[in-house]
């Protein structure tokens, strides 16, 4: 089968399109014929060596497709089932082997491309808005990168919760996408200081929560946007890692809270995984949640796909198709 392999971490040329053996599922595992694999910043961090991986490895932590083979001691899954999954490496390939408990059944009404788009980014948006800082009517949230794949889903779910959303984006086109998703206000951060704009938009009060997936370039100003006892939810670092922080800063800025969540801790059990995934699928069927597919690249063009994402050009989900 064909797969993308990384033998030595590095730049785009670290991604190699190769032939490797088709993997066999072991006890408790299922082999999935991949229809689509999703791109996420974690793939870039792993490819570059920022996140260490055993070498060589096949990138990609999410995909959707059909069950191709079932290992021993697996029940409730059979060949031909439409499934999606995340947080298991090896998705940039024709076939992937996945622990059976991580598979999410995909309803017939949901396309496998959409199902892929709802895995890492959709599940992340779900836990951020419903669990990390449970949004309610009356809350105001600042969402950075509000037109990206996860950001736009987060805006939609936050709006569904009744919160007021202020979204930041790099261009007028992206700001329009954030407003279409439900953002009450948008700030084009390349044209205005988002900290000053947030203060104006909130009458100086600040926001209840900042959802920051950008990191280094937005973190310090984001703290200044918070109300006393507000929450900084740092869930990504697209611009680079945040520098070490003296906890006393949180005290000085108003007894702030800081959390650095990750998806794995919020889908640690099958019950929680299915709760979040089934919510997302239900909202898509109702027409109240849209997973926007931005670009689909052939698997062989993984380097182009990574370059597109690293260039901060994304306006939705980027997929690879074997």
> What angle (nearest 5°) sits at the alpha carbon of residue 277, between those of residues 321 and 75?
85
Residues 223 and 256 in one domain: yes
Last residue of a domain, one of 240, 260, 280: 260
pLDDT at 148: 86
pLDDT at 153: 96
pLDDT at 27: 97
| 279: pLDDT strictly greater than 80 | yes
Over residues 234-240, the mean pLDDT reads 87
Last residue of a domain, one of 260, 283, 311: 260
Between CA 193 and CA 195 the distance in angstroms is: 6
Residues 14 and 108 in one domain: yes
CATH of the domain at 206: 3.40.50.720
pLDDT at 188: 96
Residues 112 and 192 in one domain: no
pLDDT at 297: 98
Q: What is the pLDDT of residues 163-192, one digit of tens each?
A: 999 999 999 999 999 999 999 999 999 999
> pLDDT over 70 for what percent of the chain?
100
Number of compact structural domains in the chain: 2
Question: Quick one: CA dihedral 199, 141, 292, 300, positive or negative?
Answer: positive
Residues 220 and 244 in one domain: yes
Residues 146 and 236 in one domain: yes
Output the average pLDDT for the chain: 96
Structure tokens at 153: 């889903």
Residues 141 and 231 in one domain: yes
| 149: pLDDT strictly greater than 90 | no
Residues 251 and 145 in one domain: yes
pLDDT at 295: 94
pLDDT at 313: 74
Q: Residue 75 belongs to what domain range?
A: 2-119+270-321
Burial of residue 221 (number of CB atoms within 10 Å: 0-12, 13-18, 19+): middle
For the ranges 8-17, 179-188, 308-317, which has the lowest average pLDDT? Answer: 308-317
94 touches 3 (CB < 8 A): yes
Global model pTM greater than 0.85? yes
pLDDT at 237: 84
Residues 9 and 93 in one domain: yes
Assess if residue 130 is contained within a domain: no
Q: What is the pLDDT of residues 261-275, one digit of tens each?
A: 999 999 999 999 999
């Amino acid at each position: 089968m064909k797969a993308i392999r990384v033998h030595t971490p590095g730049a785009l040329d670290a991604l190699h399109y190769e032939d490797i053996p088709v993997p066999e599922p072991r006890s408790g595992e299922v082999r999935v014929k991949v229809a689509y694999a999703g791109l996420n910043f974690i793939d870039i961090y792993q490819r570059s060596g920022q996140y260490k991986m055993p070498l060589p490895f096949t990138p990609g932590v999410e995909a959707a497709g059909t069950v191709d083979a079932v290992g021993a001691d697996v029940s409730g899954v059979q060949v031909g089932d439409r499934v999606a999954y995340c947080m298991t490496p090896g998705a940039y390939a024709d076939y992937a082997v996945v622990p059976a408990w991580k598979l999410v059944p995909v309803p017939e009404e949901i396309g496998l491309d959409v199902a892929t788009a709802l895995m890492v980014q959709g599940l992340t948006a779900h836990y951020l808005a419903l669990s990390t800082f449970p949004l309610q009517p009356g809350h105001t949230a600042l969402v950075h990168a509000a037109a990206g794949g996860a950001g736009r889903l987060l805006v939609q779910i936050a709006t569904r919760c009744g919160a007021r959303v202020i979204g930041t984006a790099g261009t007028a086109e992206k700001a329009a996408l954030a407003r279409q998703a439900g953002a009450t206000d948008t700030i084009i951060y390349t044209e205005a200081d988002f900290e000053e704009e947030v203060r104006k938009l909130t009458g100086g009060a600040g926001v209840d929560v900042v959802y920051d997936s950008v990191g280094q370039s937005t973190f310090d100003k984001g703290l200044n946007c918070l109300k006393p006892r507000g929450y900084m939810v740092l869930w990504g670092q697209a611009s680079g890692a945040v520098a070490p922080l003296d906890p006393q800063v949180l005290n000085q800025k108003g007894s702030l809270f800081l959390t650095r969540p990750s998806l794995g801790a919020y889908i640690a059990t099958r019950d929680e995984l299915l709760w979040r995934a089934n919510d997302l699928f239900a909202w898509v069927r109702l027409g109240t949640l849209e997973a926007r597919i931005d670009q689909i690249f052939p698997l062989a063009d993984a380097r182009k796909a990574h370059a597109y994402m690293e260039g901060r050009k994304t306006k939705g989900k980027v997929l690879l198709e074997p």
